[in-house]
Structure 1
Amino acid sequence: MTVVSSAIALLLTALQLPALALLLARLLKGARRLPALTPQPPTVDLVGQVSVVVPTLNEAARIQPCLDGLTRQTYEVREVIVVDSRSTDGTGDRVKAQQQTDPRFRLMTDDPLPADWVGRPWALHNGFLASSVRSRWILGVDADTRPQPALVASLVQMADTKGYDLVSLAPQFILKGAAEWWLQPALLVTLLYRFGAAGADADNPERVMANGQCFLVRRSLLEQLDGYHCARQSFCDDVTLAREAARQGAKVGFWDGAKLLQVRMYDGVADLWEGWGRSLDLKDAATSAQKWGDLAFLLAVQGIPLLALVTFGCLLVAGIQTPVLWLAFGVNSLLVAMRFAFLAAILSAYDRQSRQGFWAYWLSPVADPVAVFRIFLSSIRTPKQWRGRVYGQSMDPSPADTR
């Protein structure tokens, strides 16, 4: 028993120590990251500089806060193009009602989905093509977001000042119920462990992170990229496009936007499990080696530590005490302590006005093995449907696609 447990502890420690060193290197970069974006008043030179594109498909139940938030943006927004993919739930009616009080809104229906495109990048591509050539910036905004006043002006000013060509924002999440507070932070940490904190630039294009919920791109860069064409088959089109832009020499940023952007992404833990897990592995934007390498890394620093800590602790209490077991216990104790400490560091990423079930947030490290398992499931599966569309192996929409 002693020999077997020591051999397992030695093997695990040999895998975890390099992963721990990599994790520390990524997290320490956060000390040099840009601070959270703060509200800034618009300036005259921003007049009409931004075209906003909002892709929609059956979003009537949650789009109103997004429409209201965009209406509160000032003269920097030239137009808001809502690209609707033939919704059947009254989404278009909500947009038409918004037009009555804000003429900047424009509702359009995108063309039928081509065989080799995913719905979201196709809608964004059509919105870009329909936008005014006088706008220097194209801002993609998802229907489930809640833009705060001065979001667009602050984002464009910072991008101009810092010389960025493409910037996306990490939002503040709105969660409801203990199950969401328990699972979602564990899923979010898988991204932070792999790509570091928002505001810290990536070392190379292959480690670029992005969030399509608020995605600002210079028109000239989108023209250079032929719109969203490079991300046409990607279920994580935001990361795919951002990495391609970085490879072509564009300056790409991913910033903390929690003070200016909120989002209520999913209703309930089942929706959260399905929606977040759909593309959390980012396989559409990475090589197979990167995908499996990241999964192994997460297993070592997030999926295993709590289980290993309990296991090795029990062995030590049972009297099986060897230097290797103590080393493994120490390494996993450090990883678990870091994980719990991380909860305080990311607290600003969550809206706490509604504290129903918030207590479960502090237990979210217990969900880490579940979160890593969800990424494994995503890694071995190709999405077959999303937002009512059903896709085949060749990305052809099936006959069930009503788009």
Structure 2
Amino acid sequence: MIVVGLVLFGLAALSFALALVNLSILRATPPHAPKGDVLVSILIPARNEAKNIGPALDAALASVGVRVEILVMDDGSTDATPEIVRSYAARDERVRLLTAPPLADGWTGKVHACHHLSEAAKGTNLLFVDADVRLGPRAAARLAGHAQESHAGLVSAVPRQIMRSPGELLTVPTINLLLLGYLPMGFMRLSRDPGLGAACGQLMLVEREAYRASGGHAAIRARIHDGIQLARLFRRKGFMTDLVPGDRLASCRMYTRFDEAWNGFAKNAHEGMATPVALPVWTVLLLGGHVLPFALLPFAPTLPIVAAALLSLATRTLVTMATRENPWSIPLHPFTMLVGLAIQWSVLLRIGTTRHAGWKGRLYPVGAKP
């Protein structure tokens, strides 16, 4: 059991050390104001977003520090989404309502909408934002300024994740823990290796010419996880990508119930962790570093296992405080990691059976190469 404890301690220490280094790198990233004639096109794909689109537009219209235009792509909504956007457009010329053409063969829904938004945009920078994201006043300016200063073709951030229900607390905190606890951000900023590419599709700014040269959303038309896929695409085409702290740039409440969260994370699992090669590795890292120390603690409270449990909780606490997430995620941490792995394995084990994903009620097969 001592050997097992030492292995678990090593796995827990790995994510703790990476989180410390990553947070120091991110917090040392200074804000930059954009220079020159910059126009940020804030692009919002919307399908049945009547509850969200008004607050999203209010937040985007409050942008300061850079000129903005705001384009909303209504993609077959059956609720009041287009009417709400029209009312905003009538009051402010910066807002435009677009109607998505029918979904073309081989495309997924959100990627299709984002592609057509990019074609209509006039900005030097394109800021893709989900309808449930609330931009801070300086978000567009600081993302554009960082892109200029860092010469990155794509800059992304994870908005502050708003979580209130147990179902959210058992799923959503996985996002920031995986990024901060396992992505070596120092290497990410030094290398264009596609394997180090990461982005959050909720909040993602691209430089227009880099987007065009890389192929943009059209090059990932059959994909679902546009954040990670665009970051890897940009790097393959020779453009740098970067991540910045997002907790003060924007906020987002992704889901309100456990079933919504489960389905939401499951829909793009095949493009992330849930592959036959990657998932066993992630299982060792997450189960060993964040679940087994707590499971074994009552039966074998050896020093290495106690230390592993404490380091795991310390990692969760660091990430939670730095990203200003709900602190109730801390005591739920091992259960959150277990649920995250359960989602991934449930998707992987369905390989070879009928599989569908979707966007706002639209279903389509996934997993095909573009």
TM interval, short-chain normalised: 0.7 to 0.9
CA contact (8 A) 2:47 2:75 kept: yes
Structure label with greater radius of gyration: 1
1:89 paired to 2:63: no
The answer as to whether partners of 1:96 and 1:107 remain within 8 angstroms in 2 is yes
Q: How does 1:57-96 map to 2 (within 5 A)?
A: 57-74=47-64, 76-96=66-86
**Alignment-mate amino acid for residue 237 of structure 2:** Q
Is it true that 1:372 corresponds to 2:341 in the alignment? Answer: yes
TM-fit CA distance, 1:13: 5.4
Segments of structure 1 that go 5 or more residues without pairing to the other structure are 1-5, 314-328, 353-357, 396-403
For the 8 Å contact 1:194–1:298, the answer to whether it is kept is: no
Closer/same/farther in 2, CA of residues 383 and 77 from structure 1, 3 Å limit? farther
TM superposition score normalised by structure 1? 0.79
Distance 1:221-1:68 versus aligned 2 partners, 3 A rule: same
SS in 2 for 1:391: strand
Pick the aligned partner of 1:303 from 276, 291, 294: 291
Whether the 8 Å CA contact 1:37–1:259 is kept in 2: the answer is no
Question: 1:8-19 to 2 correspondence within 5 Å?
Answer: 10=3, 12=4, 16=8, 19=11
Secondary structure, aligned partner of 1:270: helix
Correspondence list, 1:97-112, <5 A: 97-112=87-102
Matches within 5 A, 1:345-384: 345=318, 346-350=320-324, 360-367=328-335, 368-381=337-350, 382-384=355-357
Is the 8 Å Cα contact of residues 33 and 199 (structure 1) preserved in structure 2? no
Distance 1:85 1:105 in 2: 16
CA distance in 2, matches of 1:102, 1:38: 32
Residue 23 (1) aligns with residue 15 (2): yes
Kindly provide the CA deviation profile for residues 169-208 of structure 1, in whole angstroms up to 9, marking residues without a partner as x.
1111112234433543356424433325799748632132
2-structure distance, mates of 1:291, 1:262: 29
CA shift in 2, pair 1:194/1:309, >3 Å: same
* Residue aligning to 2:224: 235
Once the two structures are aligned, what percentage of the paired residues are identical? Answer: 25
- Superposed, 1:160-239 pairs within 5 Å as 160-186=148-174, 188-195=176-183, 201=189, 204-239=193-228
Could you say if the C-alpha distance between residues 31 and 209 of structure 1 is closer, same or farther in structure 2, counting changes exceeding 3 Å? same
Deviation for aligned residue 1:83: 1.2
Letter in 2 for 1:159: A
| Aligned counterparts of 1:173 and 1:269: Cα–Cα separation in 2 | 15
- 1:337 pairs with one of 297, 301, 310: 310
Could you tell me how far 1:86 is from its partner in structure 2? 1.1
Q: Per-residue displacement from partner, 1:335-372 (whole Å, max 9, x unpaired)?
A: 311222223312242366xxxxx6x3331124132222
CA distance in 2 between partners of 1:113 and 1:286 (Å): 27
Q: Is residue 159–residue 165 contact of structure 1 (8 Å, CA) maintained in 2?
A: yes
Residue of structure 1 aligned with 2:261, choices 272, 279, 284: 272
Name the SS of the counterpart of 1:331 in structure 2: helix
Offset at residue 28 of structure 1 (A):
4.4
Query: In the superposition, relative to structure 1, how do residues 66 and 364 fare at CA in structure 2: closer, same or farther (>3 Å)?
Result: same
Aligned to 1:150: 138
Aligned position for 1:3: none
After superposition, the Cα gap between the structure-2 partners of 1:196 and 1:59, relative to the gap in structure 1 and judged at 3 Å, is farther
> Residues 199 and 231 of structure 2 are in contact (CA less than 8 Å); yes or no, is this contact kept in structure 1?
yes
Q: CA shift at 1:219, angstroms?
A: 1.0
* CA RMSD in angstroms, aligned pairs only: 3.1
Given the superposition, is the C-alpha separation of residues 393 and 32 from structure 1 closer, same or farther in structure 2, using an over 3 Å criterion?
A: closer
User: Aligned equivalents of 1:374 and 1:392: distance in 2?
Assistant: 18
Which stretch of structure 1 is more off in the superposition, 148-157 or 291-300? 291-300
Contact 1:172 1:258 in 2 (8 A): yes
Shift of 1:18: 6.1
Identify which of 33, 58, 67 aligns with 2:25: 33
The 10-residue stretch of structure 1 (282-291 or 207-216) with the greater mean CA deviation from structure 2: 282-291
Equivalenced residue count is 362
Match of 2:360 in 1: 387
Tell me the amino acid that sits aligned with residue 172 of structure 1: R
Show CA shifts across 1:118-177 (max 9, x none).
111111111111222xx2211111100000111111111122112221100111111223
Query: Structure 1 CA distance, aligned partners of 2:332 and 2:187?
Result: 24
Which residue type is aligned with residue 25 of structure 2? R
**Which amino acid in the other structure matches residue 332 of structure 2?**
S
User: Which position in structure 2 is the counterpart of 1:323?
Assistant: none
Instruction: Determine the C-alpha separation between the residues in 2 that align with 1:301 and 1:100.
Output: 54
> What are structure 2's unaligned runs of at least 5 residues?
none
CA distance 1:111–1:289, change in 2 (3 Å)? same
Distance 2:141 2:126 in 1: 13
How far 1:297 moved relative to its partner? 2.1
